[in-house]
Amino acid sequence: MSDTNPAAARAADLVAAAMKAGADAADVLYVRDASTQVSVRLGALEDVQRSDGEEIGLRLFIGRRSASVSSSDLSAAAMTALVERAVAMAREAPEDPYAGLAPADLLATGATVDVEIDDGGTASPAELKARALEAEDAARAVPGITNSEGGSASASRATIALATSTGFARAYATTSYGCSASVIAGAGGAMQRDYASHGARHLADLEPAGIIGERAGRRAVARLDPRQLPSGQMPVVYDPRVSAGLLGPLIGAITGSAIARRTSFLLDQLGEQLFAPGIRVIDDPRRPRGLRSRPFDGEGLPTARREIVADGRLTGWIADAASARQLDMAPTGHASRGIGGSPGAGSTNLHLAAGTASVADLIADITLGFWVIELIGSGVNGLTGDYSRGAAGFAIRDGQLAEPVAEVTIAGNLKAMYRALMPASDLEYRAGTNAPTVRIDGMTVAGA
C-alpha cells in the first residue's frame, strides 16, 4: 500500500463528516511537509532549520453559500470543531451563483499519472552541511570575492491529498532539494553582490555544489564597477535568469478570474497574433521531475500538456471551476489552491519554447543594447500591459557583452514587447517557469 493512501483516507473522512453535519458539498485538502535547511557562512555552520507539520483545509457548501476553514490540529476534537465552524460560517455567507465543486464527470479517473516527483530518498543534515560548505567554498575561491552572505542546502518531502464529496480521493508525494550561494565582490561603496542556486525533485538531478558556488562568485565579480547607459530606445536582451518573468503577466492576464472581471490587458487577444509566428508558450504539468508537475489539479481534474500560445496566437483562457462557470466554459485543469480559501487558476511547468538562433547570433547585429540579469520592483500594470522595471546587467556593444550596468529603468507595453520578442536556442529547465535568452527591440531605456 502506498504511504499516500492514509492521507487520502484522512481527507475523505473529513469530507464525510462535513456532509453528515449538513453540507451539500465539500472538499478537503491535506498537506504534510517535512523539510531541513542548513546554512553556513565563512566556512562555519550558521543555522539548521527543521520543520515537520501537517495542515488540513475544509471547504463546504450549503446551497450556493460556502465557507473555508483550516487547522494544524488534526485531533478528533479539532476536526469536529472545524466542521461545526465551517457549517455555521457557510450559513451566514452571501450566495455566489458560481460557487461549487468541479463537475464530477470531469474528475481524474483511472490510474494516477506518475510524474516522477518523489525520488523516495532524503538527505541528512550532515550531507546538507557538506553541500552548503562546498558551494560557499567554491564561490569564495573566485578571485575578487571579498565576503560571503553564505551557502545553503535543503531537502524536503511533502504529501498532498485531495478529497471531494463527488467521490474523488487521491494523494501524491513530492521531494525537493536545493542548494545556493551568495557572495560579495569588491570593497566599500564599490561592493557588488550576486548569487546562484538550483533546485530539483530528485537529488540525483541537483547540480554539483561546486558549480553552483563558482557561478555565484563569477557573477558577483562580473558586476564590479557598473556604469549607466545613455537613455533612449534600444534592443533589450533578457538573460534566462529573468526572461521567464515575462511569462508571469501573460498567465495572470489569461486566468478566468481576470477575464470575468474584465481586468486583463489581453481581453481582446483570444485567437489573435499576440507574438510573432512560430512562438510557442507551453504549460506541461506532466513533465517528468518538473518542479511544478502534478497528477491532478487543485480540484481533482486531470492535468494535461497545453500550448498556451501556438504559432504566436493565444489559444484560450485557463480557469478553475468557479471562473469557468462565469465564462460559460469548461474548467481547464489549472486550479491551484492553498489550505485555506477557494481555488484559483495558475500555470504549472510553464516555458517559452526555444528559438533557432544561438545567443551569439541573437545579439550579433546590436550596436548598442542592454543585457538584463536583474530586475527590480514589480512595475507591471495588468489592466493596461504597461511595463516599467528597474534593471541591472551589461551593455551590449557591437554584438558583444561589454561593461556592467546598473541603475537603469526599462519600459514598454507588454503587447508590443510580446510582438517583438525573439527567443534564442538556449532553453534549460531550471525552475517552475523557464525561458531562453530573449531579445526585444525598441524598448525604452532610462539611464544617464
Q: Are the CB atoms for 409 and 389 separated by under 8 Å?
A: yes
User: Amino acid identity, residue 179?
Assistant: C
Q: Are the CB atoms for 4 and 159 separated by under 8 Å?
A: yes
Three-state secondary-structure class, residue 304: coil
Read off φ and ψ for residue 87, nearest 5 degrees.
-65, -45
Q: How far is the C-alpha of 62 from the C-alpha of 68, rounded, in Å?
A: 12
Q: How far is the C-alpha of 67 from the C-alpha of 59, rounded, in Å?
A: 6
pLDDT in tens, the chain (448 residues): 346 789 999 999 999 999 999 999 999 999 999 999 999 999 999 999 999 999 999 999 999 999 999 999 999 999 999 999 999 999 999 999 999 999 999 999 988 889 999 999 999 999 999 999 999 999 999 999 999 999 999 999 999 999 999 999 999 999 999 999 999 999 988 999 999 999 999 999 999 999 999 999 999 999 999 999 999 999 999 999 999 999 999 999 999 999 999 999 999 999 999 999 999 999 999 999 999 999 999 999 999 999 999 999 999 999 999 999 999 999 999 999 999 889 999 999 999 999 999 999 999 999 999 999 999 988 899 999 999 999 999 999 999 999 999 999 999 999 999 999 999 999 999 999 999 999 999 999 998 6
| Candidate CATH numbers 3.30.2290.10, 3.40.250.10, 3.40.30.10, 3.40.50.620; the one for domain 5-221 | 3.30.2290.10
For the chain, the domains span 5-221, 226-448
Q: How far is the C-alpha of 100 from the C-alpha of 97, rounded, in Å?
A: 9
Helix (H) or strand (E) holding 127: helix 125-140
Q: Are the CB atoms for 148 and 220 separated by under 8 Å?
A: no
Helical packing angle, 5-20 and 76-92, nearest 10°: 50
Q: How far is the C-alpha of 439 from the C-alpha of 424, rounded, in Å?
A: 8
User: Per DSSP, what are the bridge partners of residue 49?
Assistant: 37
| Helical spans, DSSP H, in 2-124 | 5-20, 76-92
User: Amino acid identity, residue 79?
Assistant: M
Q: Are the CB atoms for 183 and 217 separated by under 8 Å?
A: yes
129, 199, 201: which is closest to 158 by C-alpha? 201
Q: What are the grid coordinates assigned to 89, written together?
A: 460560517
Q: How far is the C-alpha of 202 from the C-alpha of 219, rounded, in Å?
A: 26
DSSP 216-285: HHHHHHHTSS-B-PPSEEEEEEE-HHHHGGGHHHHHHHHBHHHHHHT--TTTT-BTSB-S-TT--EEE-T
pTM of the full structure: 0.94
The four Cα atoms 12, 202, 182, 130 give a dihedral, to 10 degrees, of 110
